[in-house]
Chain A
Amino acid sequence: SAVISQKPSRDICQRGTSLTIQCQVDSQVTMMFWYRQQPGQSLTLIATANQGSEATYESGFVIDKFPISRPNLTFSTLTVSNMSPEDSSIYLCSVGAGTGYETQYFGPGTRLLVL
């Protein structure tokens, strides 16, 4: 398994601002993922971030709103841009592990409240 940390753990932001969330892994991993969990709901995949390539976004998520960086094999950032109250969610990163990256391990999440 992998140990994953996220910063910040929580934040309260004003609408119209942007927040960058960091995800750090204790080992080198090829595949990293960003999820969103809106209040009372299940997780939704935002994008897949592989080192050395552009992030792949899921339907309903765009790069202008959620730019992602993946500068190396242990680190990634997700930015939530031009925030509105609807962006209030938990944002989680995960990494793929196993021979075929079939198992994902999740970070603790970043709790974001937009006022």
Chain B
Amino acid sequence: DAKTTQPTSMDCAEGRAANLPCNHSTISGNEYVYWYRQIHSQGPQYIIHGLKNNETNEMASLIITEDRKSSTLILPHATLRDTAVYYCIVKETSGSRLTFGEGTQLTVNP
């Protein structure tokens, strides 16, 4: 699976959009981009995934660049409960294993 690079930490004001970047320059054609988050003392939570088109669900939007070498997870109106470590993971859909990096600690401030 391709390696991902994320900033160690980010801050965001409550009510504003949180934009979390992820670089995956070695991504291959059959690899998807997945985002999970882990709120303190809880198990990781699936957020969204995509291949090359932008995706949106009730939690977030995923924007993948045309060359697929980077992506951005967007939380449109961050709340204090969105404070968590966000993990960007690249993997094949046929492969089952998730390889977690260090992720980005997002802190939403009042």
Contacts and interface: CB of A to CB of B under 8 A. Distances in A.
A72 B58 CA distance: 33
B21 interface: no
Contact of A105 (B46, B93, B97, B103): B46
Nearest to B97: A45
Main secondary structure of the interface of B (DSSP, over half): loop
Interface residues of A, number: 23
Q: For A45, A101, A103, which residue has the most chain B Cβ atoms within 10 angstroms?
A: A103
A43 B102 CA distance: 9
Interface residues of B, number: 20
Contacts of B110: none
A104 interface: yes
Q: For A92, A100, A106, which residue has the most chain B Cβ atoms within 10 angstroms?
A: A106
B45 to A, nearest CB: 7
A55 to B, nearest CB: 13
